[in-house]
Amino acid sequence: MTKIRPGLCSVTFRTLAPEQIVTLAADAGLQVIEWGGDVHVPPGDPVRAAEVAKATTDAGLAVASYGSYFRAGADERLTPVLDSAEALGADRVRIWAGSVDSAVATEDDWTGIVARLRDAASEAGERGIGLALEFHSNTLASTAPATLRLLAEVSSPWLSTYWQPTVAASVDAVIDEYRAVAAHTSAAHVFSWWPATERLPLRARDALWRRFFAEAAQAERPPRDALLEFVPGDDPALLASEAANLRSYLG
Q: What percent of the chain has pLDDT over 90?
A: 99
Query: pLDDT-derived band of residue 109, with 50, 70 and 90 as boundaries?
Result: very high
- Mean pLDDT score, 143-154: 98
DSSP 3-state of 212? helix
pLDDT per position as a tens digit, 181-202:
999 999 999 999 999 999 999 9
pLDDT per position as a tens digit, 53-72:
999 999 999 999 999 999 99
Q: Measure the CA–CA gap between 250 and 6, rounded to whole angstroms.
A: 8
pLDDT per position as a tens digit, 30-40:
999 999 999 99
Query: pLDDT-derived band of residue 2, with 50, 70 and 90 as boundaries?
Result: confident
Q: Measure the CA–CA gap between 200 and 242, rounded to whole angstroms.
A: 10
Q: What percent of the chain has pLDDT over 70?
A: 100
Contact between 97 and 117 under an 8 Å Cβ cutoff? The reply is yes
Query: In order of start, what are the domains of the chain with their CATH numbers?
Result: 5-249 (3.20.20.150)
Q: How many CB atoms lie within 10 A of CB 152?
A: 10
Task: Decide: pTM greater than 0.95.
Answer: yes
* Nearest-10 crossing angle of helices 79-88, 46-58: 30
Contact between 92 and 223 under an 8 Å Cβ cutoff? The reply is no
Q: What is the CA radius of gyration of the chain?
A: 17
Contact between 141 and 150 under an 8 Å Cβ cutoff? The reply is yes
pLDDT value, residue 1: 53
